């Protein structure tokens, strides 16, 4: 069953239904229900904390830089693959307020678009329209 987006007009948020919003619980941890077993890491609070910690470690290693790509000061479109908590995409949206940031997560700044997509399948985006593709710490597959 494909995910279905539901718009609540009393809210600023979209909700998901279907297998993208279902979970499997095993050994006290929560895992994605989308393509069960394919993504081996949990997606519970402990894992989200670990993901955010990895972002902060990367920021320390790069002396506060979100990326090292030579894209110039005004990129138009930035794609973040495997967003996790969305922390990199959100920080990048703040850094480049005129850029369109494409990612997946719950919190959405005005210039940040979250998409549900399997990075191992054909992309929904034309690579010629992307100024920067980011995939820090992609999970093993």
Q: Is 107 a domain residue? A: yes
Q: Is 53 a domain residue? A: no
Q: Is 82 a domain residue? A: yes
Beta carbons of 68 and 62 less than 8 angstroms apart: yes
Element (H, E) at 58: helix 45-61
Instruction: Tell me the pLDDT tens digit for each residue of 36-94.
Output: 777 788 888 898 899 999 999 999 999 999 999 999 999 999 999 888 888 999 999 99
Q: Is 93 a domain residue? A: yes
- Rounded to two decimals, the pTM is 0.65
CA distance 5 to 41: 25
Of residues 10 and 66, more confidence is placed in 66
φ and ψ at residue 49, rounded to 5 degrees: -60, -40
Residue 107 pLDDT: 42
Residue 13 pLDDT: 44
Q: Is 114 a domain residue? A: yes
Residue 90 structural domain: 67-136
Q: Is 61 a domain residue? A: no
Q: Count up the domains in the chain and report the number.
A: 1
């Amino acid at each position: 069953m494909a995910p279905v987006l539901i718009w609540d007009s009393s809210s600023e948020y979209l909700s998901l239904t279907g297998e993208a919003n279902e979970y499997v619980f095993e050994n006290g941890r929560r895992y994605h229900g989308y393509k069960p077993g394919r993504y081996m890491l949990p997606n519970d609070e402990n894992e989200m904390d670990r993901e955010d910690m990895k972002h902060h470690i990367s920021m320390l290693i790069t002396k506060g830089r979100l990326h090292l790509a030579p894209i110039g000061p005004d990129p138009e479109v930035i794609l973040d693959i495997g967003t996790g908590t969305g922390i990199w995409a959100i920080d990048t949206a703040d850094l480049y307020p005129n850029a369109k940031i494409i990612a997946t997560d719950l919190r959405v700044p005005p210039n940040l678009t979250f998409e549900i997509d399997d990075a191992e399948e054909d992309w929904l985006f034309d690579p010629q329209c992307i100024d920067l593709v980011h995939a820090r710490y992609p999970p093993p597959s």
